[in-house]
Amino acid sequence: MNNINSVLSLDRLVFDKLEFVRKGFQNENEIEFQIEIQVGIGDGKVSKVTLILKGNKVDEYDLFISLSGYFSFDENEQIENEQIMTLLNKNAVAILMPYLRSQASLLTAQPGMDCVVLPPFNINKMVESESTN
């Protein structure tokens, strides 16, 4: 069987900022989300990918989550720059997304409010829209 291990490894994961601001009581308003992706190519060894989630439920709360993953590549593999960007923009984001989803649920699993479970996202479309902005 061929080696199916990824050349991309998550070395470290940190939450840079977690913020929840109560504005009122539980209501029927829909929560609105905005997700931002930031990719920083490192010194050739480690690259940083940050996901930022901003959520607003009018007259109830605002939330802000910033999550960064520090990724490295298998040094034994020859990887082109274009492939590195694809891996960071798509695979790294896909790796970080469950942590972001979990934290959003934890922040909103409070008495007197509905727990938020982020829907599945089309990461390819997210990356495409980030690159056109």
Whole-number pLDDT of residue 85: 86
> Domain of 69?
8-132
What pLDDT is stored for residue 130 in this prediction? 62
**50 inside domain:** yes
Domain with residue 33: its CATH number is 3.10.420.10
Question: For residue 76, what pLDDT is reported?
Answer: 78
Would residue 18 count as lying in a domain?
A: yes
pLDDT in tens, 63-88: 999 999 999 988 777 878 888 888 89
Q: Is residue 2 part of a domain?
A: no
Mean of pLDDT over the chain: 88
Mean pLDDT on 107-131: 81
Other beta carbons less than 10 A from residue 8's beta carbon:
19
Q: Does residue 63 contact residue 20 with C-beta atoms inside 8 Å?
A: yes
Q: Is the pLDDT of residue 100 over 60?
A: yes
Query: Where are any strands of DSSP class E within 1-133?
Result: 8-22, 31-40, 46-57, 61-73
- Asked, for residue 94, whether it belongs to a domain, the answer is yes
| 88-112 mean pLDDT | 94
- Dist CA 129 CA 26 (whole Å): 32
Is 1 within a domain? no
Residue 37 maps to a domain: yes
The answer to whether the predicted template modeling score (pTM) of the entire model surpasses 0.85 is yes
Count the domains in the chain: 1
So what's the pLDDT on residue 1? 46
For residue 126, tell me if it sits in a domain: yes
**Does residue 47 form part of some domain?**
yes
CB neighbour class for 89 (10 Å; exposed up to 12, middle 13-18, buried from 19)? buried
